[in-house]
Amino acid sequence: MDVGLLGSGHIARALAQGWSRPQIAARERPRLHFYDLVEHSAADLARECGGEEAASATELVAAARMVVLAVRPRDVAAALAGVRSHLQGKLVVSLAAGIPVATLVASLPAQTRVGRIMPNVAVAVGKGVLLLAPGTLGDDVGGVEEVFGLVGEVVTVDEALFDAATALSGCGPGFAALFLAALEKGGRAAGLDAGTAHRLAAGAVAGAAALGELEPDPEAIVRAVCSPGGMTAAGIAVLEYGRVPQSVAAAVLAAVAQASRLA
């Protein structure tokens, strides 16, 4: 499928990197087209990941079967206004946080098929979690799932819960990375060199995540590694005293609340 990325910033780059991984057979890869207002961004991405730079947003839309809106939420209205009449008959997939399908539909020609996808940065390595609100994609939803499924697991979500789900899958990697950085810092404070601290901390977080996928109750993992009077128990006591679990849950709610302020 020809996929046009309108906006060539951070998430467009992560998707393009994911789609251009050598693990994906050439015949399965989408053909990528890029456009961005920032000079060189689209060309740089096309060079890095393979694909074509479009000379204008209109040219991008003309080349694409599916147009992926990868601009910041506050720029969505202007980006759509510039190409509105050319979007007839195209699939439009918005990555913009906080902008409902109904708002997109109102800005598009009648019968344009539109849905939302919320990827996270792990799409760059093919391990993303991508939320899908099918909106008005109808029987084109399968094709959209297929293309985005090349870079991670696509999870269909009721749009009413899209912001809540985004706070976990979209913001969660950032929260986990903050924890990872803190773990590393603790390792360095305890005398490890930076490289070893990074390797051990990343391995510990990846291992916990892999176990967490199998264990429906993550607190069971905490109990299993906390022998009374042991090293882990001593550390957990400090995290609980600092109300870290409550702060993480509050971070999720803060992220959800922020979604409505983005557009």
Ligand X SMILES: NC(=O)c1ccc[n+]([C@@H]2O[C@H](COP(=O)([O-])OP(=O)(O)OC[C@H]3O[C@@H](n4cnc5c(N)ncnc54)[C@H](OP(=O)(O)O)[C@@H]3O)[C@@H](O)[C@H]2O)c1
Site residues for ligand X per CB under 6 A: 6-7, 9-12, 35-38, 41, 57, 70-73, 75, 78-79, 82, 95-97, 118-121, 170
How many beta carbons lie within 10 A of that of residue 208, not counting itself? 16
Vertex 227, ends 224 and 228: CA angle to 5°?
135
Q: Rank residues 112 and 120 by Cβ distance to ligand X and give the closer one.
A: 120
Distance of closest approach, residue 5 Cβ to ligand X, in angstroms? 9
Distance CA 91, CA 98 (A): 20
Q: Minimal CB distance to ligand X: which residue?
A: 9
Q: What string of DSSP letters covers 76-87?
A: HHHHHHHHGGGG
In angstroms, what is the minimal distance from the CB of 147 to ligand X?
16
φ and ψ at residue 158, rounded to 5 degrees: -60, 130
We find the least distance from the C-beta atom of residue 218 to ligand X, in angstroms, to be 24
Minimal distance, residue 149 CB to ligand X, in Å: 16
CB of 210 vs ligand X, minimal distance in Å: 23
Please report how close the Cβ of residue 67 comes to ligand X at its closest, in angstroms: 11
Residue 62 has φ and ψ, to the nearest 5°, of: -60, -35
Q: Which is nearer to ligand X, 135 or 187 (CB)?
A: 135
For ligand X, the closer of residues 20 and 41 by Cβ is: 41
Of residues 60 and 137, the one with the C-beta less far from ligand X: 60
Output b/e per residue, 13-52; b: 16+ Cβ within 10 A.
bbbbbbbbeeeeeeeebbebbbbbeeeebbebbbeebebb
Q: Is 167 exposed, middle or buried (0-12, 13-18, 19+ CB in 10 A)?
A: buried
Q: Which is nearer to ligand X, 97 or 197 (CB)?
A: 97
Closest to ligand X by CB, 148 or 187: 148
H helix intervals, 64-161: 76-83, 101-106, 141-149
Maximal CA-CA distance, the chain: 68
